Amino acid sequence: MDKIAFLGAGSTVFAKNVLGDCMLTGPLQEFEYALYDIDMQRLEESWQMLSNINRNSNGGRARIVKYMDRMEALRGARYVINAIQVGGYEPCTVTDFEIPKKYGLRQTIGDTVGIGGIFRALRTIPVMLDFVRDMEKVCPEALFLNYTNPMAILTMAMCRASFIQTVGICHSVQVCVPQLLYRLGLPQDHVKYKIAGINHMAWLLEITRNGEDYYPQIKQRAEEGPILKPYTREMLKDYPQLLYPEYDFTPDRHDDLVRFEIMKQFGCYVTESSEHNAEFMPYFIKKAHPELIEKYQIPLDEYPRRCRIQIEHWKQLKNSLVNDENLIHQRTHEYPSYILEALETGRPFTFAGNVMNEGLIDNLPKDCCVEVTCAAGQGGIQPCHVGSLPHQLAALNMSNIGLQQLTVDAALTGSREAIYQAAMLDPHTAAELTIDEIRSLVDELIEAHGSWLPEYH
């Protein structure tokens, strides 16, 4: 059936970009767009907005349908896109940040690894398993594109628990090189590169300009300054997913310092932001060394700050976006419309995808989720073989992979012991807390999450 189901359609701005793009894409213009959300008001808002875009930018050719029944939204779908957030800012994100603070454990984003990433996964995996159980019944051949974090953990859980084809997609690889070269004031023309690793910790393994290795110049410029030109809205206009209203465009904000330190020490630039990687490693957020926060300009509690600003911003944006009968859309750089266009037409499109490591990165485990170049086209989606990562980069990835695997174990088996072990293996948590403190923290978080989590034995 010519149908795209969007789970979490109440994410109105994101639905506008992803589904608006699809409606502007030739072979997808007459599809049914099935919108599903548990929040009826937000679902209605997204339906109204997308209906306006369909009328004004697509000649009304698509069918925009809202569903409160998930099974019916999925029935017969060819493609399913997931963008849910279980537990929201309140109560769950607040819980993920405030309880660890009692133990002296500070976080920046808390959605990928660390104690925040573990608990976000534990409350999200059961919901996503319900999704795939429904899909197995009503659209077993559909492609499931996941945008929800923690990306690697959730994609791994889906692939371990179901035969539904699942691919995770994220922005970090897409914008890594433009960000890097812009911040260093280096030319971006005639540049080619290779990136691989795990989500939010993939590596810029190679980069050339005009066929010559660009890394020496990048590293020299970073060592000299770095220049760290501030992001501007002009620079980011081609990357609308980065134009968050809460982004601080203050000229003296140098928020890539952690990434440049990682490149200096380990040889390669990492795809995801400094605020993420500061909490993926044991070196940067240390209560015994508070001076590191200022040195590397690490934004503690950054994700809750973004949530609060986004909530306020939506109150201001809502009327202009939802009630604008003349609303139009221009295609963005979000991946889904290009992936689906390639699958429908056979014209190839390459993108960074999160998939199970089935013969892709030789020195990472086969049962982990990796982020590699994938080719979409007539034969479906084909991940590309990478080979082996440099040992130090594989080791850094492994420091996060064990946590990911054990979190999936916990979610699929109900094992509380696996949650303890995942937390104890997290580099940042282990560097700050004792074993007894970690176990106590896990117990307190399980109790605080209450009905958001299943029972763990």
| Amino acid residing at 249 | F
Reported in sequence order, the residue ranges of 136-187 that DSSP labels E, i.e. its strands, are 143-146, 165-169
Report long-range pairs for 241-248 (Cβ below 8 Å, ≥24 apart): 241/17, 241/171, 241/175, 241/332, 241/333, 241/334, 242/171, 242/175, 244/306, 244/310, 245/309, 245/310, 245/313, 246/305, 246/306, 246/309, 246/310, 246/313
Q: What angle do CA 150, 438, 203 make, to 5 degrees?
A: 35
User: How far is C-alpha 438 from the chain's CA centre?
Assistant: 26
Residue set of the binding site for substrate: 149
Catalytic residues: 171
Residue set of the binding site for Mn(2+): 170, 200
169-457 belongs to CATH 3.90.1820.10: yes
Q: Which helix (DSSP H) or strand (DSSP E) does residue 23 occupy? A: helix 12-23
pTM across the whole model: 0.95
Instruction: Judge contact between 22 and 31, C-beta under 8 A.
Output: yes
| Amino acid residing at 441 | L
CATH homologous superfamily of 3-168 equals: NAD(P)-binding Rossmann-like Domain (3.40.50.720)
pLDDT along the chain (457 residues), means of 10: 96 94 98 97 97 98 97 98 97 98 97 97 98 98 98 98 98 90 90 98 98 97 75 54 41 70 98 95 97 95 91 86 94 95 98 98 98 97 98 98 98 98 98 98 98 96
Start-end of CATH 3.40.50.720 domains in the chain:
3-168
Start-end of CATH 3.90.1820.10 domains in the chain:
169-457
Contacts of 91 (CB under 8 A, 6+ apart): 452
User: How far is C-alpha 394 from the chain's CA centre?
Assistant: 20
Q: What is the pLDDT of residue 315?
A: 85
Residue set of the binding site: 149, 170, 200
